[in-house]
Amino acid sequence: MAQLQNKHILLGITGGIAAYKAPDLVRRLREQGAEVRVVMTDSAKAFVTPLSLQAVSGFTVSDDLLDPTAEAAMGHIELARWADIILVAPATANTIARITHGFADDLLSTLVLASKAPVVIAPAMNQQMWAATSVQENIETLLNRGVQMIGPESGEQACGDVGYGRMSDPTQIVQALIEKQPKTPQTWQGKTFVITAGPTREAIDPVRYISNHSSGKMGYALAEAAAHAGANVILVSGPTQLATPAGVQRIDVETAEQMLNAVQQQLQQCDVFIGCAAVSDYRIAEIASQKIKKEQSDQPPQLKLVQNPDILQQVASSEKPPFTVGFAAETENLKANALRKLERKQLKMIVANDVSQTGLGFNSDSNNAIIFSQDSEQSLPTMSKHDMAIAIIDAIAKRYFDNTNPEIRAN
């Protein structure tokens, strides 16, 4: 299994000769399952081109703090929130000094200040510079603040000197990052999650269908978080463009009825069910066998709808229901609508979010939400869906393993 699977690594490249190793570093990080985005200083571009780094990372390289196009999409604040790890490699003496003293007049130094992600530096400089008192004092300050360091190594340098200051090899950097990752508690070892994700599609004719804006990102993030916590995870997915998380069994479906059938086949072994899919409430009563043509009639076709099965309610009301968690995507009266759904469908928990907020919910990488149960309420501020998934799985664990609650013991 890739040991940096789905980690968001923000790679900062600065102006040292070791920058030529950066494309290889990006490639090796991606081999371990990481998603890598690159930020370059102006001087770094003298040693390696943004185009080569874009080619190996799969993302446009960021280099301008005041880039208006970046602000419209992945600006410096969003990029800072996206990162799980900020890796600066090579980290020159100048960049180390700027980070130490809190400079924020270029994109990389601003991201370091604006992010809660752990910072890892891989120093690279002339051996005499590395030995300088000011550099060593800066390094000591950063280490005391919790910044982690990889290298430098001793050896022959580009200038001909021999000594400490060479950036560690990309394979060493990747291995060191892997070793620095905290071990995930295996809270859910031996338990099985069934999670639904994505939209469903209900055919109108062979080329048209009814669906919705769900991307599946939240459900897939939940599957990944549960798997990392030790659970056996079965992901029942509607049509998406997402890769299956590592260690997760995926069952692809298209319609609501297909999703229900797939879920029912897994219920016997299910300990926790999370209904995160955006299931179509209705389907067409009679699907046209051929494409409906405009010229066949002057009037628009009259589509008769029938109600789809309520997957969440059927799971929660089954003979031996698992711990059942639902989602409520609302545009108004968030709390009232969520609590009504929690009660009506006999759920243990429900995660409610306002999908009318710009930049959150459907198709976004971020979200905020409120987790409701019969006797509690927990607000989750705006965060990445990756982080929200971890928080939701933790919240489920607190109730599922609460031995003082007879309802949970019964499950």
Higher pLDDT, 169 or 183: 169
The stretches of 238-371 forming alpha helices (DSSP H) are 256-266, 311-316, 334-344
Predicted pLDDT at 360: 59
Which pair of structure tokens corresponds to residue 77? 């604040």
Helix (H) or strand (E) holding 222: helix 217-228
Q: Kindly report whether the global pTM for this prediction surpasses the value 0.85.
A: no
Predicted pLDDT at 73: 45
The stretches of 7-106 forming alpha helices (DSSP H) are 22-31, 50-57, 68-72, 76-82, 93-100
Residue 62 gets which letter from DSSP? B
Predicted pLDDT at 406: 44
Query: How do residues 261-310 score in pLDDT, each as one tens digit?
Result: 999 999 999 999 999 999 998 999 989 888 888 776 677 888 899 999 99
Which pair of structure tokens corresponds to residue 338? 């969520």
Tell me if 219 sits within 8 A of 276, measured CB to CB: yes
Predicted pLDDT at 228: 86
Query: How do residues 133-153 score in pLDDT, each as one tens digit?
Result: 999 999 999 999 999 999 898
Model confidence at 411, pLDDT cuts 50, 70, 90, reads: very low
CA–CA separation, 92 and 123 (whole Å): 6
> Is residue 270 annotated as part of the catalytic site, yes or no?
no
All structural domains of the chain, each given as residue ranges with its CATH number in brackets, are 8-180 (3.40.50.1950), 192-410 (3.40.50.10300)
Query: How do residues 316-361 score in pLDDT, each as one tens digit?
Result: 999 899 999 999 887 788 889 999 999 999 999 999 988 777 655 5
Query: How do residues 61-120 score in pLDDT, each as one tens digit?
Result: 988 776 655 544 445 677 888 899 999 999 999 999 999 999 988 899 999 999 989 999
- Tokens 């709808």: give the residue: 305
- Tell me the average pLDDT of the chain: 87
166 closest CA partner among 72, 277, 90: 90
User: Where do the DSSP E strands lie in 85-215?
Assistant: 85-91, 119-123, 148-149, 153-156, 162-166, 192-197, 202-205, 208-210
Residue 279 gets which letter from DSSP? -
Q: Give the angle 217-24-91 at the CA atoms, nearest 5°.
A: 90
Catalytic residue among 73, 131, 159, 306: 159
Query: How do residues 40-70 score in pLDDT, each as one tens digit?
Result: 999 999 999 999 999 999 998 988 776 655 5
Query: How do residues 234-246 score in pLDDT, each as one tens digit?
Result: 999 999 988 898 8
CA–CA separation, 321 and 314 (whole Å): 9
